[in-house]
Structure 1
Amino acid sequence: MEEKEMLAGLLNHDQAALKSLMNAYITDVYSLSSAIIGGVGSAEDIEECSSDVFFTAWKSIDKYSPDRAGLRTWVLMICKFVALDRRRNLKTKISQLPLAEEAIPAKILTTSFETVEERQELQTALKSLARQERELIYRRYFLDESINDLASAYGLTRQAVDNKLWRARKLLKNLLGKKERQGVEEL
């Protein structure tokens, strides 16, 4: 189906036109969603975002103006905003998660924190950090976010994030003592 036919069908809320729109642009929408959400969300989040993009386009087709942009460009602009909203929501959820024992990488727990007591000590030490440092540790070492992403998310320079992480690791080493230092150094 050509773009003009697709547009006419979409304006009449023809489901065949929606299906054509999805077939025509799903690869582009999925790729853009993945690029925006990839470091924070799962494959399911990306798929949901892609579905939301087409649903939003379906609901708001009457706002589309062919004079301003092509249909593909319009769909990708919707995708950009839907994906950015999804990424922001996912980051908010992540930052509100408590640092549960399950969030600590299994390698660290099994090699250096073998007993329940040692794991509880680690939890206590993590809770003693300031909220921002705890979030930075969690997001950097448990969620594997880049320093640049963290700097952007917190409005800090890369050097400031590096310094905060270094100080937080040093504090954790001091709080946990000599026996557990090896596990903390793996962070």
Structure 2
Amino acid sequence: MKDTELQHLLKADPERGQRAFYDRFFNYVYTIVFARLKGCAAMEDIDECVGDVFAQCFLFFDKQNEIKGDLKAFTASVARRKAIDTYRRVVRHTSRSVSLDENEEFVSDEDIEDSTERTELRRILYAKVDELGEPDSTIIIQKYYYGRSSKEIAEIVDLTSDNVRARCSRAVKRLRDMLFEAGFSR
């Protein structure tokens, strides 16, 4: 059904026209609203917003003779605006204030010491891989970080896959020795 036919149906038989409009645009409206609200609103809020979009559209159709332009663009505009309104309402009602009482202690689930240690280990490991030089550092990163096969790596570094496997094996042994010299146990 074309936009003009749907608009005519909305005027001639509002109940059937609204049903046809709803059926045609429900998934579209739901996708727009869900994309805007998925991280901050409950499913009930999302469903309510979708209903509000259609209510707003139907009120507009009752007051206007005809929509100039694309119905899809009009519907998307209403959906975005309603989603923004809902977002503002939800955020305003869910914002929490934090007491700054001196006797309270803030507790985090994150282990700062462990996180810092892992970050430092990654930095050292990357530096040692970089010390291997080319093409060994590229081979190690492509194999162990990106999970690429020897054939794929061979295309990247312009070697045969047998050469890539041999270089990788030697590079891992060299890397192990370099890490041992840097103070890491085997």
TM-score (norm 1): 0.51
What is the rounded CA distance, in whole Å, between the counterparts of 1:63 and 1:26 in structure 2? 21
SS in 1 for 2:39: coil
**Per-residue CA shift, 1:128-153, capped at 9, x if unaligned?**
26xxxxxxxxxxxxxxxxxxxxxxxx
- The residue number in structure 1 matching 2:22 is 22
Task: Give 3-state SS (helix, strand or coil) of 1:128's partner.
Answer: coil
Structure 1: unaligned runs, 5 residues or longer: 99-125, 130-170
Q: Give the deviation of 1:175 after TM superposition.
A: 4.2
Letter in 1 for 2:100: S
From the CA coordinates, give the structure whose radius of gyration is larger: 2
Instruction: Indicate the residue corresponding to 1:88 in structure 2.
Output: 88
Return 5+ residue gaps in structure 2 as ranges: 111-186
C-alpha displacement of 1:65: 5.6
Alpha-carbon distance change, 70 to 64 in structure 1, aligned in 2, over 3 angstroms: farther
Say whether residues 1:47 and 2:47 are aligned partners. Answer: yes
1:49, 1:83 within 8 Å by CA — same for their partners in 2? Answer: yes
Counterpart check, 1:128 vs 2:100 = yes
In the alignment, the residues of structure 2 paired with residue 78 and residue 64 of structure 1 have an alpha-carbon distance, to the nearest angstrom, of: 18
% identical aligned pairs:
20
More helix by percentage = 1
What TM-score does the superposition give when structure 2 sets the normalisation length? 0.52
* Aligned residue pair count: 109
Partners of 1:90 and 1:13 in 2: how far apart?
A: 36
Question: How far apart are residue 185 of structure 1 and its match?
Answer: 2.5
Partner SS, residue 186 of structure 1: coil
Closer/same/farther in 2, CA of residues 84 and 77 from structure 1, 3 Å limit:
same
Partner residue of 1:185?
Answer: 108
